[in-house]
Amino acid sequence: MELHTATAGGEGVRIRVDYGRVRSSDEVPRRRGTTVSVKGLFHDLPARAKFLRTAGAETRVASEAVLLLALANPGVGLKLESNGRTLLDLGPDEVWTDRIEAIWGDLAETLVPLAAAGGAGDVSVSGLVQRPDAARPRGGRRYLFVNGRPFRDPGLHRIIDEAFRTTVVEGMRPSFFVRIAADPSGVDVNVHPAKTEVRFRDRTAIEGALQGAVRATLAGLASTRPIGRAGRVVPDRGAGGSGSRPGGPPEPLESDVPQLALFVPGRTDRGDVDGRLAEVLDGPVFSGPELWQLHDRYIMAATRDGLLIIDQHSAHERVIYEEIMGRFEAGGGTAQALLFPVTLRFSPAEAAAVEELSGLLARLGFELEPFGERTFLVRASPQPHPRFDAERCLREMIHELTEGSPLVDSARNQHERIAKSMACKGAIKAGERLSPDEMRELFDRLFATELPGHDVHGRPTILRLTVDELDRRFGRS
């Protein structure tokens, strides 16, 4: 092994070591930096060479080790050569996204900075996570670092995946690059011979900070899918705008225009919505024409730096889902008595499901009464919007909950299964024309949710089109 190193203002030193014995140590000038050369590893221990895999496999292992060093130390330039071939050649980078782009190219454009989140004590989390729309079934780049040290922890991977729930399609694996800063006295790095695992004294604080940071990041519009090239959102340079009121005060309500009640009577408080918009929008909304509906399925809203395009069905799914989960936590929701009870007859399996789920359905707002063999009377139902078809929604929900689907099969429990199914079946559909007040109500309700940019299927509710992208398309930049 030969080690040649020098600090910025000091003399260079070159040390040669042969199988544990120092052969020479000389002052040899060089630029600041370090070069390590290793060859003939098994000259004195040929038996160890028998345990090696193929040259290609061992090269990949060595490359991964250097890659971890490169990710942990973006300010340090690294070059890796093997058999005369350059495998890595990385200059020093000021920000992490530059280092990631140098290694994996376009992956960097799909990453957004983690929102600041602290845990108990001295725990903090930073880094980058992938936009949900860019997640893939396999091949996600997933790296964890604690106090600059790379480590593996499948449990923390699961915490991050759990934080992505209802924002990615089931089975997708988002990439992430996460730094954890914690008091070194609370981190044991000597639990694995290869130092690839660590043990935390207060693991609950680590998990809480990690999940909180990811959820806060997914609540922002930077995590939604852009149209065209979004460019990279660089950490430490600001990922969000200042935000402002989306077009001034709302118009007075017209009594003859049907409003989206969305489980809560009346309109959303403007102060709450404006505060939420200031948190999640990349820029303030224009004060001109507020909202437009395109082809009776998309709602458009202008912002200072472009345009938001909202899928009305997906947006309403997110609203209803979070409303239902909130109602379950509160102990139940309100119901509206039907003028004429509806008689529904189910298959044997569906009837059994109705009986099994009767308590949860009642908390949701469905008042069901047995009425003969496999037949039920629906006397009351929730009323998420004026066009809500209680009979069709309940039939489709019971069928899905009985037969299963990727949506409900991915749920953690019956509460979530019902909430997802109800949100999907009960939301307003594409093709339904909305009045200006209905669009405003839906827009406000969406931005009052925890995760406005993603529906319960893991699809986006919002697309972002920036003025920069339009200028590029029109040849202005």
Beta bridge partners of 17: 22
Q: What is the pLDDT of residue 279?
A: 61
Pair of tokens at residue 53: 């895999």
Q: What is the pLDDT of residue 266?
A: 41
Contact yes or no for 145/72 (Cβ under 8 A)? yes
CB 144 within 8 A of CB 249: no
Q: What pLDDT was estimated at residue 248? A: 34
What is the pairing mode between strands 225-226 and 462-466?
A: parallel
Are 2-90 and 335-381+388-426 the same fold in CATH? no
Residues of the chain with pLDDT below 50 are 236-267, 288-289
Mean pLDDT taken over the chain = 83
Provide CB contacts within 8 A for 71, sequence distance 6+.
96, 99, 100, 103, 143, 145, 150, 177
CA atoms within 13 A on the CB side of 126: 12
Chain centroid, CA 29 distance in Å: 49
pLDDT, position 293: 92
- CA–CA gap between residue 431 and residue 13 (Å, rounded): 74
Q: What angle do CA 406, 407, 408 make, to 5 degrees?
A: 100
Q: Is the dihedral of CA 182, 184, 187, 191 positive or negative?
A: positive
Measured distance CA(180)–CA(159) in Å, rounded:
14
The encoded tokens of residue 224 equal 């939604």
Any idea which fold 96-226 has? Ribosomal Protein S5; domain 2 (3.30.230)
Radius of gyration from C-alpha coordinates of the chain: 28
Start-end of H helices in 135-190: 154-163
d(CA 248, CA 290): 9
Amino acid at 293: Q
Place of tokens 């005060």: 249
- CA-to-CA dists, residue 3 to 36, 159, 335, 476, angstroms: 5, 41, 76, 52
What's the CATH superfamily of 335-381+388-426?
MutL, C-terminal domain, regulatory subdomain (3.30.1370.100)
Sign of CA dihedral 302, 131, 324, 422: positive
Q: 3-class SS at 86?
A: strand
In contact, 375 and 345? CB cutoff 8 Å: yes
Cite the beta strand spans of 42-151 per DSSP E: 78-82, 85-90, 111-113, 117-118, 124-130, 142-146, 149-151
Task: Please report, for the chain, the start and end positions of each structural domain, with discontinuous segments joined by +.
Answer: 2-90, 96-226, 335-381+388-426
pLDDT for 54: 87
Q: Which of 3.40.50.1110, 3.30.70.20, 2.40.50.180, 3.30.565.10 is the CATH number of 2-90?
A: 3.30.565.10
Question: Which residue in this structure is represented by tokens 């376009």?
Answer: 106
